[in-house]
Structure 1
Amino acid sequence: MKLLRQSSPDPQQLALQLDFFSSDFSSQPKVDHPAPERTPGSLLPSLPLSNGDANAPIPHGKRRVHVGEHILDYTLVRSKRRSIGFMIDDDGLRITAPKWVTLTEIENAICEKQRWIFTKLNERREHSARRLQPQMEWRDGATLPYLGHDITLRILGTQAAGIAYNADTKELTVCLPGAAAERQLKDRVQGWLQLEAKRIFAERLPVYAEKLNVSYQSFALSSAMTQWGSCTADGKIRLNWRLIHFALPLIDYVIAHELSHLREMNHSPRFWATVQSVFPEFVAAKKALRDHAPETLPIF
């Protein structure tokens, strides 16, 4: 989430945005660990190894350490910085450390940070696995997410144009000429999803505006590639139409988040307390949006 200002601050243009797809770990900030004091006897404890192949070749440019039951390969970069930095990127764990810090001290720091390291490595692995999932095929019988559930796409070959959703069977029927191109099908489905998003947002915004005792000036759909929503100081709300893919509680969280900015135009503790006052489950919703991989959504 970012506070955006023009070079000449204008209160009418001040905007706060709710970022999405932040599971891009390569852009995550480094987590710094203060360089340890160099005291005699500060040794890495003896750690048992019960899985993995300790005899496997160490990749070029990497170092290897045993941490609990794991074998951990990492890249070490020496620098003039005054602390030990940890980062997870496409190449795994990368550590930046001052030139004077010993390997023993670095490996002690790895042990202390092992929970964070393995959590982030697992998240990265899951993220990469989702990226390998096959993309949706635009054909009869395909499924796509709508309000947190998969619905089935039905294509009816006819000269009459139309689209209809059956909530009982969870089927979206699209009428198209037999020679219609895939682009026409995508445009028809996207148009329907955007209309649904506008309808549902229009229903939910007043609910949370009343709870927060705030008034918004207007709202519009957004197709932003980096934000779920935004709010300006003069009450203009923008909500990403692709929220329609998610369950209603996640939509409500984004709406509550943006409307809360009309009371606190920041991301201070008071802001989050405001969000929590109307949406107590905001932490879980925030994590669900942050962890969701963009590759699992249909490409239009």
Structure 2
Amino acid sequence: MPELTPAPPLSEASLTTGGVARRLGVSPTTVRSWERRYGIGPAERESGHHRRWSPADVAVLEAMCRLTARGVPPGEAARIALGAGRQGTDQEAPADRPAPGGSNALPVGPLRPECRGLARAAVRLDTAEVSLVLRQVVDELGPVTAWTEVMVPALRAAGRKWAAEGERYVEVEHLLSWHVSTALRRVADRPGKAPQGPSVLLAGMPGELHTLPLEAVAAGLAVRELPYRMFGPAVPPDALLEAVRRTGPTAVMVWSQARPTADLALARRAAGTTWGGRGARSRPVVLTAGPGWAGTRPAPGILRPRDLAGALDRIEQLLTG
């Protein structure tokens, strides 16, 4: 893979089209297309020289990126961005402080425009825009669709970029993960009267630190007003079994991201854990979720959901009888 040139600092010195594209996390072709179609270009040009973008010009492009990330059609976004730039509502970045920047865009492919906008904002380390896009997609699409069609593709793209470039993009993945968790918990922890009746226990397998998918499950359960208890990542075996005995859940979902954390013996022990008085003993149905369980054989009392929507439907059936 060719070496990527880091984005230059944004100061009073103007930038080339390529430099602007790297900073905003879009392709130079996109920048040139916006200039050609909508007139978003450098305010000043020198004959015989490459186009140079001043901080004020870049501010208009940043506004264009924010608007298109929110689903505004490009033509309308350009009109708003240019109008705001003429009125001075998008202020220049100070000469001695670089604006949040990044380099190449995350390759999310032909997906929803909200996903592409989220990826671009994450590359720019634009926390305000990342938070806003996530809040909007959760509110408009619901947490399940937002997770499967926007959050997961963006997270996977960040992971692939990090794997390809070493430690270079780990800050993008960490920032995106934190904001995704925040957006999901805003739904999962929504205040209100807690539903009564049997619940589902959500836990990461021992040694499993990836729990964003469980947070998506919690958000989906909250929308359906189904009760759950979240125990988070890396729950020790004895703690998991004790939690099952103490809470008496109808269902237990255990997440494994990678094969080494998929302990089928522990899942079977959880499925065999009982509670209740003599003659009224109960035990949970265990759902083994996550790619770590791929290839494991089914066992009595253990289900393997294929996707988030299917898992929520099955849990609802179990909880409602």
TM range (shorter): under 0.3
The answer to which structure has the higher helix fraction is: 2
The answer to which structure has the higher strand fraction is: 1
Normalising by structure 2, we get a TM-score of: 0.23
Normalising by structure 1, we get a TM-score of: 0.24
